[in-house]
Chains A and B, each alone.
Chain A
Amino acid sequence: MPATSTLDYRKIRQEKIIKTLVNKDLSIQFEDHLENEMILNMGPQHPATHGVLRLLLKLDGESVMQCVPELGYLHRGYEKLAENCSYHEFIPHTDRLDYLSPLMNNTAYVLAVEKLLGIDVPRRTKFIRTIISELARISSHCLFVGSMGMDIGAVTVFLWTFREREKLYDIFENLTGARFTTSYTRIGGLSQDLNPEVLQMMKDFVEQFPEKLNDCEKLLNSNRIFVERTDGVGAISPEDAISIGMTGPNLRATGIEHDMRRVEPYLLYNEFDFDIPTFTGGDCLARYYVRINEMKQSIKILQQALEKIPEGPIHAFEPKKVLPRKERVYTKMEELIQDFMLINYGTEPPVGEIYHAIEGSKGELGFYIQSKGEGQPWRMKIRSPSFCNLQSLPKLVQNSMISDVVAIIGSIDPIMGEADK
């Protein structure tokens, strides 16, 4: 018997498959064409889901009956990773949580560690941290306005807000050395001081930004298409929002005035004069307005902070906890030993647990650290606002049209790096 080559086998198999398919009755019959629901898989690569969010939608015609969000596509295990990093080593990882406002994450993390260690930083550092937090908030909200506009079809605003973000990134680059992965704050201080040129850049930015924001507003606020696609879409009641655990601008859009900067003032927020804008309705339009007004309040805080920023040291004087200055490491024995001890074994905090939250650009961003007195945290939990805000999605999209889903996701402003951790 002649040996049949693989090619022949393949041919025979193919023919068999085709034959079976031809003989089979493949037509689907519906008795009532409108009775069936459709399951639609949206994401994880859908451009409107802002990263890797996957939604399973049950559709009846064009309206959404049910929605199941699936998170975790960007899970990198940062909470577990923290248990194997010293407190200092974890700082670059925080950049990658909410990658639209890395400076804010840096600040939130070191504030939590400093609370655990009991360090009080100098006043200038507090000022700089306040300033960079507010700049990061503006950068993040700018992206929100741009990307939400683009989701709805207003592409011009997207380009304009990205121009503003570019200016902010120039500032960040000059200040920290990197545009995106800033890793700027340090336990008990900052990686480098704010020099006068950067201060001037910040002042220039604050000077010109309100006008640019106003231009964007002009394009959106009385734009009938924009208003029609957001007004009353994806509304949530204050009670539901609280029970889900929504925080930040999304909560304030329902009329609840809850802001960590007011409720539990950290850094220097109790010294500055600013309002907390709230709106009622809890729909996409209200969420948009909250963020627009928050940017204005941030500018107000920046104006005051940049005026009043004092001179002075930026590092806390805590030799056992804070990395020593470089010129002393080069010349002095004690500091050299300190440098080695701190890096090799890490700062040793007291046994205990703390939670510190700041008002991030998306909501309450908190770090919960449990310490067994070692160089690494025993357990670290990151309370990321995007994760909690996303839980509201099934409620928000229920009974809305499928095209509204895009607007609703845009208006919640989820950052998957933070939601999935």
Chain B
Amino acid sequence: MNKFLEKSEIKRLKDLTFWQKLFIPEIFKALKITVKQIFKPSFTIQYPEVKFQKPESFRGSPILVEENGVERCVACGLCSRVCPALAIDVQAAETTLEKERYPEKFEINMLRCIFCGFCEEVCPEEAIIMSSDYELSFTNYNDAIYGKEKLLVPIEKVKERLEFLRKNR
């Protein structure tokens, strides 16, 4: 391996040998290198048919965690403050539940969101996390604004991500 790490010296036109200048033998040499590649396993994946393996740290689109039928979010507004793309809109209201506040309106504009994961990082309630969903498509602007009904995901479905976050953050 270390023989590959030696400095390769510059080879200008005048340094090329007669055979290299002739070019024909060089073509065959190069073909030998390229033909070898044919027998190596293919590196590409056929995307829409074959999906790639997502690592556990993968950051997809943000979602809200739903616990016991209600969202965990307490509408503190921290995520909308930190969001570099200004994608989140939260409006707080009061509730009789123990958490006292809940988001009356929680919207994420998926056209603005850059999947940076900052909202997940700052949320004090572990209420907004990044899912592994990355294939979003819309046909009009209003579809791209996800409200609570689209964002809420039951906690059982996002166990893996929560586990990952507890381990790594």
**A290 vs chain B, min Cβ distance (A):** 9
Chain A hits for B124, CB < 8 A: 329-330, 336, 339-340
Q: Mark B121-151, 1 if CB is under 8 A from A, else 0.
A: 1101110001000000000000000000000
Identify the closest chain B residue to A209 (Cβ): B4
A318 within 8 A of B: no
Query: In this complex, which of A92, A207, A214 has the most chain B Cβ atoms within 10 angstroms of its Cβ?
Result: A92
Tell me the interface secondary structure of chain A in the complex.
helix
Q: Are B12 and A191 in contact (CB under 8 A)?
A: no
Residues on the B chain within 8 Å of A289, using CB: 8, 10
- Complexed CA–CA distance, A279 and B82 (Å): 47
Min C-beta distance of B88 to chain A, whole Å? 13
Residues of B within 8 A of A323 (CB): 121-122
Interface residues of A in 129-167 (CB under 8 A from B): 156, 163, 166
- What distance in Å separates the Cβ of B29 from its nearest Cβ neighbour in chain A? 8
Digitize B1-23: 1 where CB-to-A-CB distance is under 8 Å, 0 elsewhere: 10011111011110010001101
Q: Please name all residues of chain B whose beta carbon is closer than 8 Å to the beta carbon of A193 when the two chains form the complex.
A: 168
- Interface flags for A318-332 (1: CB within 8 Å of B; 0: not) read 000001011101100
Contact among B6, B76, B116 with A181 in the assembled complex (CB-CB below 8 Å):
B116
Of the candidate stretches B52-60, B63-71, B98-106, the one touching chain A is: B52-60
- Category for how many chain A residues contact B: 35 or more
Task: Tell whether A88 pairs with B82 under 8 Å between CB atoms, given A166-B43, A210-B1.
Answer: yes
B interface footprint on A41-55 (CB within 8 Å = 1, 0 otherwise)? 000000000000000
Q: CA A339 – CA B125 in complex, angstroms? A: 12
Among candidates B20, B78, B114, residue contacting A224 with C-beta atoms closer than 8 Å: B20
Q: Are A223 and B168 in contact (CB under 8 A)?
A: no
Given A88-B82, A192-B168, CB of A222 within 8 Å of CB of B8:
no
Contacts of A207 in B (CB 8 A): 1
Contacts of B11 in A (CB 8 A): 221-222, 227
* A286 to B12 CA separation, bound complex (whole angstroms): 9
Quick one: CB contact mask for A202-246 with B, threshold 8 Å, 1 for yes?
A: 000001001101110111011111011001100000000000000
In the complex, chain A residues whose CB is within 8 Å of the CB of B76:
340
Tell which of A163, A191, A225 has the most Cβ of chain B within 10 Å: A191
Question: What size tier do the contact residues of chain B reach?
Answer: 35 or more
Chain A residues with CB under 8 Å of B10's CB are: 279, 281, 285-286, 289
Query: A177-B58, A219-B30, A227-B16 given as contacts; is B169 within 8 A of A192 (CB)?
Result: yes
Given the known interface contacts A222-B16, A339-B78, the answer about A173 and B84 at a Cβ–Cβ threshold of 8 Å is no
**Stretch of A65-73, A116-124, A291-299, A350-358 contacting B (4+ beta carbons < 8 Å):** A291-299
B26 CB within 8 Å of chain A? yes
**A93 located at the interface, meaning its Cβ lies under 8 Å from any Cβ of chain B in the complex:** yes
Q: Which residue of A lies closest to B17 (CB)?
A: A222
The answer, yes or no, to whether B96 is at the interface (CB within 8 Å) is no
A29 CB-CB contact with B under 8 Å: no
Question: Do B169 and A277 touch across chains, with their CB atoms under 8 A apart?
Answer: no
Query: A38 on the interface (CB 8 Å rule)?
Result: no
Question: Which B residues are CB-close (under 8 A) to A4?
Answer: none
A275 at the interface (CB under 8 A from B): yes
Contact partner, A92, options B8, B26, B84, B166, Cβ 8 Å = B84
Supplied contacts A224-B20, A326-B165, 8 more A-B pairs, CB within 8 Å: A90-B84, A175-B57, A178-B59, A192-B168, A219-B33, A279-B10, A339-B122, A343-B122
Q: Which residues of A does B touch, CB under 8 Å?
A: 85, 88-93, 156, 163, 166, 173-178, 181, 183, 191-193, 195, 207, 210-211, 213-215, 217-219, 221-225, 227-228, 231-232, 275, 277, 279, 281, 285-286, 289, 292-293, 296, 299-300, 323, 325-327, 329-330, 336, 339-340, 343-344
Can you name 10 A-B residue pairings with CB atoms under 8 Å? Answer: A192-B169, A275-B7, A300-B5, A326-B121, A330-B125, A339-B124, A340-B124, A343-B78, A343-B82, A344-B78
| 9 tightest Cβ-Cβ pairs between the two chains A and B | A210-B4, A177-B59, A326-B169, A177-B57, A192-B168, A174-B55, A92-B116, A231-B13, A222-B20
